[in-house]
A = this chain, B = another copy of it.
Amino acid sequence: MQKRITTAHGGGGEEMRELISGLFFKYFSNPYLEKLNDFAKVDISSRRIALSTDSFVVEPWSFPGGNIGDLAVCGTVNDISMSGATPLYLTCGFILPEGMPLEDLEEIVSAMARRASEAGVLIVTGDTKVVGRGAGPFINTAGVGAVPDGIDIGGEMAKVGDEVIVTGAVGSHGIAVLSKREGLSFSTEVLSDCAPLNKMVAALIENGIIPKVLRDPTRGGVAGALNEISVQSGVEIEIEDEAIPIEQGVRSACDMLGYDPLHIANEGCMLVVVSQKDAQRALELIQSCKYGEGAARIGRIAEGAPRVTAKTLLGTKRLVDPPSGELLPRIC
């Protein structure tokens, strides 16, 4: 008979201990976790740390190109990386529905372990709760990274003249989840771009390119992220529609459904704002990285009130609004 999650797996008793040692230790094995305390004590070499957290509620939990476990690790690794910090340790909280097949949980946990290994981070402490049928699985991860000396990257640091790079084609995560959820099929299958970006950030910093801003355009998409940066830095951002890399499958899906690809969530690309003098070298470094082949220079920081504009294919200028409401709920 298929083994399933019961309320006892979240109850603090024998069944929970069996789940922890039988499943979590099998995949997340490391000396911190195995101490079995409700905390992990870890060493950190820098006096400045970056902290981040995200809860993942994507529905369905599995989609073309990944599952909620891939997202839970990559999402927090990426948020930490956007500060310029080196992600080191993750915490992990599972909220599982009663009746969930244990093999589904194993699929999720094994994806988390693969991504943690790829990103070079350790999952050092965790928590499991079980709730009623129909809710979840939900996963929260929080992360800690070491901020290198002299690094001050943040949404408020963009200056007039800086350039904007996107590290890969946009919109594929949102369309991949949507296609699975709605049972849609497009001419070309769209896979989520879900990936850890920390090695790409490290490649820039190790080569002496310190970005002003790094931002992964998840919920709200590229339009949401650029608008946030424009407000935080108090600048206008001008992009060029033509320069934005979009896969054919994403473009067709957006045309069919009436979506703007700039509003669609991504999980494996980022926006990089760099000084003009660094832009070409930054692009080349990014393109040499595993997840950066499709990178492109898409615009620049201009003088003007905080807003985002795009030069259209017709040569006119349009306002790029952040999405309002929730276009695609439960996308991450």
Does A44 lie at the interface of the complex (its beta carbon under 8 Å from any beta carbon of B)? yes
Does A330 lie at the interface of the complex (its beta carbon under 8 Å from any beta carbon of B)? yes
A228 contact set on B, CB distance < 8 A: 36
A311-332 near B? 1/0 per residue, CB < 8 Å:
0000000000011111101100
With contact pairs A49-B44, A82-B37, A232-B36 given, residues A127 and B54 touching in the complex (Cβ less than 8 Å)? yes
Q: Complex formed: what's the CA distance from A95 to B323 in Å?
A: 21
A17-50 near B? 1/0 per residue, CB < 8 Å:
0000000000000000001111111111101111
Does A124 lie at the interface of the complex (its beta carbon under 8 Å from any beta carbon of B)? yes
Asked if B48 and A43 make an inter-chain contact with CB atoms under 8 angstroms apart, the answer reads: yes
A145 contact set on B, CB distance < 8 A: 39
Which of A136-144, A161-169, A184-192 has 4 or more CB atoms under 8 Å from chain B?
Answer: A136-144
A143 to chain B, nearest CB (A): 8
Asked if A13 and B220 make an inter-chain contact with CB atoms under 8 angstroms apart, the answer reads: yes
Asked if B48 and A41 make an inter-chain contact with CB atoms under 8 angstroms apart, the answer reads: yes
Which of A86-94, A249-257, A291-299 has 4 or more CB atoms under 8 Å from chain B?
Answer: A86-94
A215 to chain B, nearest CB (A): 8
With contact pairs A14-B324, A135-B134, A329-B130 given, residues A39 and B50 touching in the complex (Cβ less than 8 Å)? yes
Q: Complex formed: what's the CA distance from A50 to B13 in Å?
A: 24
Chain A residues numbered 97-129 whose CB sits less than 8 Å from any CB in chain B: 124-127, 129
Residue among A10, A37, A220, A327 having the largest count of chain B Cβ atoms under 10 Å: A37
Residue among A55, A80, A145 having the largest count of chain B Cβ atoms under 10 Å: A55
Q: Complex formed: what's the CA distance from A57 to B83 in Å?
A: 31
Asked if B325 and A91 make an inter-chain contact with CB atoms under 8 angstroms apart, the answer reads: no
Does A62 lie at the interface of the complex (its beta carbon under 8 Å from any beta carbon of B)? no
Interface of A is mostly: mixed
Does A155 lie at the interface of the complex (its beta carbon under 8 Å from any beta carbon of B)? yes
Asked if B326 and A91 make an inter-chain contact with CB atoms under 8 angstroms apart, the answer reads: no
With contact pairs A83-B37, A154-B37, A325-B11 given, residues A94 and B55 touching in the complex (Cβ less than 8 Å)? yes
- Indicate how many identical chains form the complex: 2
Asked if B41 and A49 make an inter-chain contact with CB atoms under 8 angstroms apart, the answer reads: yes
Q: Complex formed: what's the CA distance from A327 to B35 in Å?
A: 26
Q: Complex formed: what's the CA distance from A14 to B224 in Å?
A: 9
With contact pairs A8-B325, A224-B13 given, residues A93 and B54 touching in the complex (Cβ less than 8 Å)? yes
Asked if B7 and A155 make an inter-chain contact with CB atoms under 8 angstroms apart, the answer reads: no
Contact for A47 among B44, B85, B330, CB less than 8 A? B44
Asked if A91 and B138 make an inter-chain contact with CB atoms under 8 angstroms apart, the answer reads: no
Asked if B92 and A220 make an inter-chain contact with CB atoms under 8 angstroms apart, the answer reads: no
Contact for A13 among B54, B80, B324, CB less than 8 A? B324
Q: Complex formed: what's the CA distance from A134 to B131 in Å?
A: 11
A56 contact set on B, CB distance < 8 A: 129
Q: Can you give 18 contacting A-B residue pairs, CB < 8 Å?
A: A7-B325, A10-B326, A11-B323, A11-B327, A12-B265, A13-B224, A15-B324, A35-B154, A38-B79, A39-B52, A41-B49, A52-B91, A53-B125, A53-B127, A57-B95, A93-B142, A132-B135, A135-B136
